[in-house]
């Protein structure tokens, strides 16, 4: 009898691949996948709430852990909150940021301009050689 139950379960699953007719695309070969597996993996590149929620909760947890450890560090060493220490830390961070920006190879959004100005002749209705003032 157990084999009969397996046969019924196997028969209830759709075939892994099937040929379908779609009005927009014509005949297509559709591949059936388990919905629960696809939902947890983000689907076929579609929007899925579960991975987004998981990433959000993980990032919130990391943030709470960082705030907690920073607070404990400041409570253990109150000199970290002195104005001189804060200014030194801020100056150091700004220098690191400036050096990172200077070292980065930024891709310009607009095409590079040449230093030479290229002159393009502008067509006019006047014949060549005339100055424009007739006297």
pLDDT category of residue 63 using cuts at 50, 70 and 90: very high
DSSP 47-106: --HHHHHHHHHHHHHHHHHHHHHHHHHHHH-GGGGSHHHHHHHHHHHHHHHHHHHHHS-P
Min mean pLDDT across 21-25, 36-40, 58-62, 98-102 is at: 36-40
Q: Is the pTM of this model over 0.95?
A: no
Q: What is the pLDDT of residue 105?
A: 65
Burial status of residue 39 (CB atoms within 10 A of its CB: 0-12, 13-18, 19 or more):
middle
Q: In the chain, count of helices (H) and strands (E)?
A: 4, 2
**Up-side HSE of residue 103: CA atoms within 13 Å toward CB?**
6
Give yes or no for a contact between 43 and 35, defined as CB atoms under 8 angstroms apart. Answer: no
% residues pLDDT > 70 (the chain): 58
- Residues near 16 by beta carbon (within 8 Å), at least 6 away in sequence: 31, 32
When pLDDT is averaged across residues 76-96 and rounded to a whole number, the result is 87
Domain assignments of the chain as residue spans, ordered by start: 12-87
Beta partners for 22? 26
Spatial separation of the C-alpha atoms in residues 123 and 47, rounded to whole Å: 55
- For the stretch 19-31, pLDDT in tens is 888 888 888 888 8
Model confidence at 135, pLDDT cuts 50, 70, 90, reads very low
Q: Which residue has the higher pLDDT, 75 or 123?
A: 75
Q: What is the pLDDT of residue 1?
A: 47
């Amino acid at each position: 009898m157990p084999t009969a139950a397996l046969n019924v379960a196997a028969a209830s699953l759709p075939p892994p691949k099937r040929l379908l007719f779609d009005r927009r695309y014509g005949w297509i070969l559709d591949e059936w996948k388990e919905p629960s597996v696809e939902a947890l993996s983000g689907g076929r590149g579609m929007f899925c709430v579960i991975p987004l929620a998981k990433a959000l909760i993980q990032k919130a947890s990391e943030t709470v852990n960082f705030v907690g450890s920073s607070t404990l560090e400041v409570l253990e060493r109150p000199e970290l909150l002195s104005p001189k220490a804060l200014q030194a830390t801020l100056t150091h961070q700004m220098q690191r940021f400036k050096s990172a920006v200077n070292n980065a190879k930024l891709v310009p959004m607009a095409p590079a301009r040449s230093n030479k100005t290229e002159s393009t002749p502008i067509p006019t209705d006047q014949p060549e050689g005339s100055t424009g003032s007739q006297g």
